Amino acid sequence: MLTLTHLREGLRIFLASWKAKYRGFRLYQGTPEQIARAIIQNCWNGRYFQTSTRNFAEFWTRDFGICAEALVQLGYREKVVLTVRYALNAFKKANTITTTITPSGVPIDCFSFASDSLPWFLHRINAAQASFLVEENRTFFEERIKEYYQKVVDSHTGLVRADRVFSGMRDYAKRRSSCYDNCMVYFLGETCRRLKLTIPWNNKKLQKHIEHTFWNGTYFYDDLNKRA
């Protein structure tokens, strides 16, 4: 559901894009590694790693989850943990975990509850070897896991619900019980196992169910429509 915060963010991103079009983009000098590290450093704003230096100067749960492990390997573990703490504090105030936190610190979903927000958020905690954050906030995470299961999983089929659409890797595509969404449930289960968090589903059964439902012998179907 669109809110005033969504509209404000849309306007902010539009203006940032407009400025970039007329002012140009920042150019970096040096070797590929020097350039990469300079960009990473510029994405650190003193509180958290923002997604980019201009248009997307906010925190995106999915994007940061994907790159968190690499950032740790590059030597940025301390800043990764600080970023996780920043996001966790914002999420705890809102009592939910969302796709995005605006530059002003407001958690929002773009554009609906996502199948991958909780999985990627817990993954970055595991990647940063920061399980102490789970211990400090175990009740919060257990509540989020229950909320996730109730919202995302069909208890009758064991797969992701097909009666609603969830945000995912392809936010612009409306898919129902996509293979990606189901894999995110499995991914969450495996991450919870590593972090010693309890899940209300059997992950081994889910793994077999995903393969049986989406694999056609040559490739995995995109969703339950089984068209591609």
The predicted structure's pLDDT at residue 175: 85
Q: Is residue 29 part of a domain?
A: no
Q: Strand 100-101 and strand 107-108: pairing?
A: antiparallel
The dihedral region occupied by 105, where left means phi > 0, alpha psi between -120 and 50, and beta the remainder, is left
Confidence of residue 57 (pLDDT cuts 50, 70, 90): confident
Q: Is residue 22 part of a domain?
A: no
Nearest Cα residue to 117 out of 88, 159, 78: 88
Q: What would the mean pLDDT of 81-108 be, rounded to a whole number?
A: 96
Confidence of residue 119 (pLDDT cuts 50, 70, 90): very high
Q: Which residues make Cβ contacts (< 8 Å) with residue 124, sequence separation at least 6?
A: 64, 65, 68, 69, 80, 84
CA 218 to chain centre: 29
Q: Is residue 10 part of a domain?
A: no
Q: Is residue 127 part of a domain?
A: yes
pTM, entire model:
0.90
Say how far apart CA 55 and CA 177 lie, in whole Å: 31
Count structural domains, the chain: 1
Joined together, the tokens standing for residue 138 give 């175990």
Select the more confidently predicted residue: 170 or 86. 86
Nearest Cα residue to 205 out of 186, 178, 177: 186
The predicted structure's pLDDT at residue 162: 94
Q: Is residue 180 part of a domain?
A: yes
Confidence of residue 171 (pLDDT cuts 50, 70, 90): low
Q: Is residue 224 part of a domain?
A: no
Q: Strand 100-101 and strand 59-60: pairing?
A: antiparallel
Q: Is residue 27 part of a domain?
A: no
**CB-CB contact of 80 with 135 (8 Å):** no
The single-letter DSSP state of residue 174 is -
| Domain coverage including residue 180 | 58-214
Q: Is residue 17 part of a domain?
A: no
